[in-house]
């Protein structure tokens, strides 16, 4: 007869092995070097016309179709980069590529006087800035509302999967890529007519983690922050730690990390935040959003009697031509100021809600995350 302690020990070992497999899989997907794809061999030309015609077959109905690209937004799509000025006696620093969308639509009278609002968008791992813009369709919405949109792009030299290093302690404290992103924002704001009181930043996954870090270290620059499927701030500090945060959150570190931010910046201003999370996300699990809510409440010093309102939007009917996931929205408000909006989207995995599903990390089913974010940002201005 097997003793109970032996059964318990075997169960513990099995659980440990399962966690190791999960960690290895996530590490391979998100952080491992990109394998070099072998070049396809050229096919030899067929010797005779008879042989050529005999090998031609009609396309199977199940063959994948070539993705039909939607017409781009009508504004300007500009490519540039930011390089920090070198200190005396040092070489120039690493450059940060970025893309900028400027609307074709003529600015309103208010925008002529103050400048256009600027939205900063940070992509996730294994995405480029252009793929992120196309997948989220943010430029089309920005065109209607008159927003300029800045897309910084992590370089492959800095990270083989284009991941922003949100888990790095130095980065969390304002170092690393934070200075490059801030430099790109300042460069765009200096070159174009940008309303400095209406600069917003958001991202998905690693990009959401990085957007959070940038805003926490430079809160006076941003009127509001948006995080889609983002990891909680302040944990990680190495590869295994990052994977643990993505799966389990940061536990007590979630509160401590915000307290450290407030200690470094006693005059930290209020920072309105919107959090979007798929409830079926098994890459950055929903526990991260729960802890981000705690961080948002703590960061904005919201009282215990903060007004919270909630509503739920149902899913579309089965077979609908416009599929939609059900989702719940919770608003945390102090006086007339909406400081925190939390969207929990049912059945959504690790993907941008309402995006172009022909591109990775996008789900075509509504709600449209881009619209939700812009609607939230429009309510806020940095005083």
Residue 17 confidence (pLDDT): 57
- CA pair distance 302, 296, nearest whole angstrom: 9
Q: Candidates 1.10.3720.10, 3.90.1150.10, 3.30.470.20, 3.40.50.1820; correct CATH number of 76-85+92-306+340-377? A: 3.40.50.1820
Peptide bond into 224 cis (omega under 30): no
Residue 126: CA count within 13 A, CB half-sphere: 16
pLDDT along the chain (383 residues), means of 10: 52 52 54 44 38 31 54 93 78 87 94 96 98 98 97 95 96 96 98 98 98 98 98 94 96 94 97 98 98 97 93 92 96 96 98 97 98 98 93
Residue 1 confidence (pLDDT): 47
Query: Could you please report the per-residue DSSP string of 260-316?
Result: HHHHH-TTPPP--EEEEEETT-SSS-THHHHHHHHHHHHHTT--TT-EEEEEEEPPP
Helices (H), the chain: 4-30, 49-55, 109-114, 129-136, 138-145, 169-172, 178-191, 206-217, 239-248, 253-264, 287-299, 369-377
- CA pair distance 284, 236, nearest whole angstrom: 13
What pTM was estimated for this model as a whole? 0.84
Residue 89 confidence (pLDDT): 56
Give the pair of three-digit tokens for residue 296: 């948002």
């Amino acid at each position: 007869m097997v003793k109970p302690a032996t059964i318990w020990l075997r169960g513990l070992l099995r659980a440990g092995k399962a966690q190791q497999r999960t960690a290895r899989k996530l590490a391979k997907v998100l952080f491992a070097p990109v394998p070099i794809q072998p070049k396809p061999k050229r096919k030899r030309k067929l010797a005779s016309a008879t042989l050529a015609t005999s090998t031609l077959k009609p396309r199977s109905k199940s063959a994948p179709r070539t993705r039909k690209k939607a017409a781009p937004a009508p504004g300007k799509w500009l490519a540039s980069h930011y390089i920090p000025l070198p200190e005396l006696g040092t070489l120039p620093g690493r450059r940060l590529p970025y893309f900028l969308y400027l609307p074709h639509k003529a600015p309103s009278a208010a925008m002529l006087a103050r400048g256009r609002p600027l939205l900063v968008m940070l992509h996730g791992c294994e995405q480029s800035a252009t793929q992120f813009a196309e997948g989220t369709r943010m430029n089309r919405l920005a065109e209607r509302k008159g927003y300029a949109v800045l897309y910084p792009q992590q370089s492959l030299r800095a990270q083989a999967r284009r991941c922003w290093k949100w888990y790095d302690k130095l980065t969390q404290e304002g170092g690393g890529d934070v200075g490059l992103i801030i430099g790109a924002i300042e460069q765009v704001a200096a070159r174009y007519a940008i309303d400095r009181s209406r600069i917003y930043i958001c991202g998905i996954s690693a990009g959401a983690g990085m957007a959070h870090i940038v805003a926490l270290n430079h809160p006076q620059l941003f009127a509001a922050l948006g995080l889609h499927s983002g990891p909680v701030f302040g944990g990680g500090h190495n590869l295994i730690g990052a994977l643990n945060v993505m799966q389990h959150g940061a536990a007590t570190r979630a509160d401590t990390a915000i307290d450290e931010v407030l200690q470094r910046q006693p005059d930290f201003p209020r920072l309105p935040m919107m959090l979007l999370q798929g409830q079926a996300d098994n890459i950055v699990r929903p526990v991260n959003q729960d802890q981000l809510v705690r961080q948002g409440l703590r960061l904005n010093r919201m009282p215990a009697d903060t007004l919270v309102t909630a509503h739920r939007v149902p899913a579309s009917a089965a077979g609908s031509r416009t599929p939609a996931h059900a989702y719940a929205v919770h608003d945390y408000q102090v006086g007339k100021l909406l400081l925190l909006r939390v969207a929990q989207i049912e059945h959504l995995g690790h993907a941008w809600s309402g995006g172009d599903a022909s591109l990775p990390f996008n789900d075509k089913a509504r709600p449209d995350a881009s619209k939700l974010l812009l609607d939230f940002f429009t309510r806020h201005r940095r005083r």
